[in-house]
């Protein structure tokens, strides 16, 4: 995390509600304690509680975070009472709507079985390995690995910067349309790793818009087409009014910039114009290239699940070397 990001984090604390402040305080105390206590001692403490040291520690952490500022997932009331344990989790009852729930209710992790294997699957997401390699690990079936992957990525893929500011580079990258895993194909099958029959944007490719500012804040969006309407729907909610949009010479970007009253630098790439003063799109193009290289390990992603993968890649970029299984589980919980 940069100093600027840290300052933004500090400034945002004043906007948090009391339950979120309480949860943040619990998470910070947990992080400080984890850094201060040797790993072996932490593992012994988990085992003393009757849980496997390599898998359930983060579930206990999730319950601790929830207990620090519990809210009813059904009506958001804070008037709740403890309601005994069930299925290895602490249970609560809302005094307002009378519903019962636990720390996982209403989250992507709700009603997933084999919690003892979650940590191993979370580590597979850290390692970025293909599903069949995940399924080769003990206790994880291929269909479970697939279901868990997209449950675990449901929250991270939605976590995007709210604002792109300063110089904002935008461009698209393309992925082959894929019906991988579908029982009924709407087109003839092709060999794995195939290529589009022609360049541009035929029906067999899916455009992914990537926008990135010079602070490395990144937003991506699956587009239905490369029209000004699609570009506007993706960029208008996040790009600051004072930002400078830098793109190629596509008319869709020009139309969007005019409509949004944005300063716009359009590079004529076909004429070899890669840089204009301090403006270029090399940053976003490099990011798109890294994304495509990273995704090759999955041998193609089904288009219906494609949005999970850029979100996964963004999470890797945010956490860097600090990413671990517990972080993945915490992010999946939301």
* Backbone dihedral angles phi then psi of residue 246, each to the nearest 5 degrees: -120, 125
pLDDT of residue 45: 34
Q: With pLDDT > 90 as the criterion, what percentage of the chain qualifies?
A: 39
**pLDDT tens digits, residue range 185-237?**
777 766 665 666 666 566 788 999 999 999 999 999 999 888 999 999 999 99
Q: With pLDDT > 70 as the criterion, what percentage of the chain qualifies?
A: 78
* 321 — pLDDT class (breaks 50, 70, 90): confident
161 near 8, Cβ under 8 Å?
no
For residue 306 the two structure tokens come to 């494609």
pTM of the prediction? 0.73
CA nearest neighbour of 173 among 140, 138, 135, 211: 211
Kindly compute the dihedral angle of the four CA atoms of residues 290, 160, 134, 142, in this order, to the nearest 10 degrees: -120
State the Cα–Cα distance between residues 159 and 285, nearest whole angstrom: 21
**pLDDT tens digits, residue range 35-62?**
443 333 333 333 333 333 334 457 888 8
Q: Which of 145-159, 196-210, 233-247 has the highest mean pLDDT?
A: 233-247
161-182+197-304 is classed CATH 2.40.30: no
C-alpha dihedral sign at 309, 311, 312, 317? positive
Q: Report which of residues 328 and 53 the model is more confident about.
A: 328
209 near 220, Cβ under 8 Å?
yes
Mean pLDDT of the chain: 81
The H or E element that residue 246 is part of is strand 244-248
CA distances, 76 to each of 86, 95, 103 (Å)? 21, 11, 13
- Which parts of the chain fold into alpha helices (H)? 3-12, 18-36, 39-48, 57-68, 118-127, 131-135, 142-152, 154-158, 228-235, 251-260, 282-295, 308-319, 325-333
134 near 313, Cβ under 8 Å?
no
């Amino acid at each position: 995390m940069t100093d600027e990001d840290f300052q933004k984090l500090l400034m945002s604390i004043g906007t948090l509600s009391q339950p979120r402040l309480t949860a943040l305080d619990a998470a910070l105390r947990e992080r400080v304690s984890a850094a201060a206590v040797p790993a072996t001692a932490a593992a012994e403490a988990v085992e003393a509680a009757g849980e496997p040291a390599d898998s359930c520690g983060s579930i206990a952490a999730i319950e601790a975070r929830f207990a620090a500022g519990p809210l009813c997932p059904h009506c958001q009331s804070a008037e709740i009472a403890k309601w005994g344990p069930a299925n290895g989790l602490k249970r609560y009852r809302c005094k307002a709507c009378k519903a019962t729930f636990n720390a996982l209710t209403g989250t992507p992790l709700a009603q997933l079985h084999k919690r003892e294997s979650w940590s191993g699957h979370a580590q597979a997401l850290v390692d970025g390995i293909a599903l069949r390699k995940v399924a080769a690990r003990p206790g994880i079936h291929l269909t479970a690995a697939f279901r868990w992957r997209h449950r675990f990525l449901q929250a991270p893929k939605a976590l995007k910067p709210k604002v792109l500011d300063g110089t904002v580079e935008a461009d698209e990258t393309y992925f082959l349309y894929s019906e991988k895993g579908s029982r009924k194909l709407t087109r003839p099958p092709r060999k794995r790793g195939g290529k589009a029959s022609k360049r541009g944007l035929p029906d067999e490719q899916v455009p992914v818009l990537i926008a990135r500012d010079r602070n490395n804040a990144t937003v991506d969006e699956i587009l239905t087409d490369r029209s000004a309407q699609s570009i506007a729907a993706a960029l208008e909610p996040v790009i600051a009014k004072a930002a400078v949009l830098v793109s190629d010479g596509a008319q869709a970007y020009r139309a969007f910039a005019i409509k949004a009253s944005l300063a716009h630098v359009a590079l004529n790439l076909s004429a070899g114009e890669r840089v204009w003063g301090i403006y270029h799109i090399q940053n976003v193009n490099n990011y798109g290239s890294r994304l495509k290289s990273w995704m090759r390990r999955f041998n193609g992603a089904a288009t219906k699940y494609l949005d999970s993968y850029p979100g996964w890649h963004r999470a890797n970029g945010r956490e860097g070397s600090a990413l671990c299984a517990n972080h993945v589980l915490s992010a999946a919980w939301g």
